[in-house]
Amino acid sequence: MKIKFIIFFYAFIYVDLFAQITISDADLVDVGDVIYQSYDLTPPPSISIGGSGINQIWDFSELQAMSNDTLFFIDPSSTPHSGLYLNVNLSMKKNGSISYFNKNNSGIYLHGIGDTVFNSPIISYPLPLTYNLNITDGPTLAIDTVLTNPTLLSFIDSATVSNLTNGLADKVDTAVILTSYTSEFIVDASGLLTIPLGTFEVLRLKSIKYIITDLNIYCSNSINQYGSWIYNLPLSSIPILSGFSNNQVEYKFEWITDSPMVDFLLAEVVVDSLDNIIGGFSFQNMPTQSQTQDLISKSFKIYPIPSSYNITIESEDKNRIDFCLRDLNGKLILEDHFYYTTTLSLDGLFKGNYFLELKTKKGNCIKKVLVK
């Protein structure tokens, strides 16, 4: 009996020690989620990406927030370019740029950015993520764009055209841009990751993205109408694109968790082909005070502004909202509370600026109201 117990005990330890998490679409972001990212551009030498394999330990607790960013995951139907995307169910807003995705049980697929709709979606994350996953996606022709004047003239001037054609042409009539993506995804490690936010069980996803861009232009002579195509033009031959290459490779490591306490992406870093860190670390963090205020501010809609008769306040918060309206001298004009939405009468108010303070459980924000 004792021998059987010892065998069972060590078998239990073995299973527990080498158990692996699996990350599915249910563990990833949904509409309404917000990820607060911090960046450490000069991480201390003690922080490294580590090795591959199971039961790894990554201690990134010394990362410092040198700058911060906020990722808003929103309903595509509420965005300016929603009419261009028919098969998406998730959008990400970051620094004013909006990306469009379709999330399902096989992965998250990027369908486009802003008004640039991809010919075919490219995969951002394959699913489910499990240790030893190794797949290749592509090549996928994502961008197939034809540009015509006057757009071209803004970045390919006559001097550049003359140089490219040995003086035979002086303008570009048409350009065709083809961009294809091939991505390799390897879940090469698992273990525990510690960041300033806490310690979490993670998978490490290594991705290698190959981006190939073909630029073909049709040039002509404005005097004798001579014209010809130039194929596979190096991007670096165009002054405004001198820093770009037709063939780019991006290497990246991401640490991803299935913990319900945080969002899925805990840390990421771009490296070179030898795994040397480029540009520092990005890691999930608690929101700064300014980020919290920005989030609260974005959760309200106030219209019309300016207004003459009344203003309507709409809130995404399901809880009670307290508010007060003050003039420029701080004098209290109106004080009340509401749920979801309310309309304020402006009768009796002098023309000018007023301050509307909105108070929520997450914090407060102040909006300027113009009465005309």
Q: What is the pLDDT of residues 251-292, one digit of tens each?
A: 999 999 999 888 899 999 999 999 999 989 999 987 655 555
pLDDT of residue 5: 40
pLDDT of residue 197: 87
pLDDT of residue 288: 58
pLDDT of residue 229: 92
pLDDT of residue 295: 58
Residue 19 banded pLDDT, cuts 50, 70, 90: low
Q: What is the mean pLDDT of residues 9-14?
A: 38
Q: What is the mean pLDDT of residues 46-68?
A: 93
pLDDT of residue 46: 87
Q: What is the pLDDT of residues 96-138, one digit of tens each?
A: 899 999 999 999 999 999 999 999 999 999 999 999 999 999 9
Q: What is the mean pLDDT of residues 205-228?
A: 92
Task: Tell if the pTM clears 0.75, that is, is over it.
Answer: no
Owner of token pair 């109201």: 369
pLDDT of residue 289: 54
What's the rounded Cα separation, in Å, for the pair 221 and 166? 12
The share of the chain scoring above pLDDT 70, in percent, equals 89
* Domains parsed from the chain with CATH numbers: 2-286 (no CATH), 290-371 (2.60.40.3080)
pLDDT of residue 17: 46
HSE-CB for 335 with a 13 A CA cutoff: 5
pLDDT of residue 18: 45
Strand arrangement of the beta sheet that strand 310-315 belongs to: 300-303, 310-315, 341-345
Please give, one letter per residue, the 3-state secondary structure of the chain. CHHHHHHHHHHHHHHHHCCCCCECHHHCCCCCCEEEEEEECCCCCCCCCCCCEEEEEEECCCCCCCEEEEEEEECHHHCCCHHHCCCCCEEEEECCEEEEEEEECCEEEEEEECCEEEEEEEEEEECCECCCCEEEEEEEEEEEEEEECCCHHHCCCHHHHHHHCCCCCCEEEEEEEEEEEEEEEEEEEEEEEEECCEEEEEEEEEEEEEEEEEEEEEEECCCCCCEEEECCCCHHHCHHHCCCCCEEEEEEEEEEECCCCCCCEEEEEEECCCCCEEEEEEEECCCCHHHHHHHHHHCEEEECCCECCEEEEEECCCCCEEEEEECCCCCEEEEEEECCEEEEECCCCCCEEEEEEEECCCCEEEEEEEEC
Q: What is the mean pLDDT of residues 31-50?
A: 89
What's the rounded Cα separation, in Å, for the pair 353 and 345? 15
What's the rounded Cα separation, in Å, for the pair 24 and 289? 32
Q: Give the range among 11-25, 90-104, 214-228, 335-349 with minimum mean pLDDT.
A: 11-25
Residue 362 has pLDDT above 80, yes or no: no
pLDDT of residue 8: 39
pLDDT of residue 293: 59
pLDDT of residue 330: 67
The share of the chain scoring above pLDDT 90, in percent, equals 44
Residue 348 has pLDDT above 90, yes or no: no
Which residues lie closer than 8 Å to 358 by C-beta, 6 or more apart? 296, 300, 313, 315, 321, 322, 323, 364, 365, 366, 367
Q: What is the mean pLDDT of residues 217-221?
A: 90
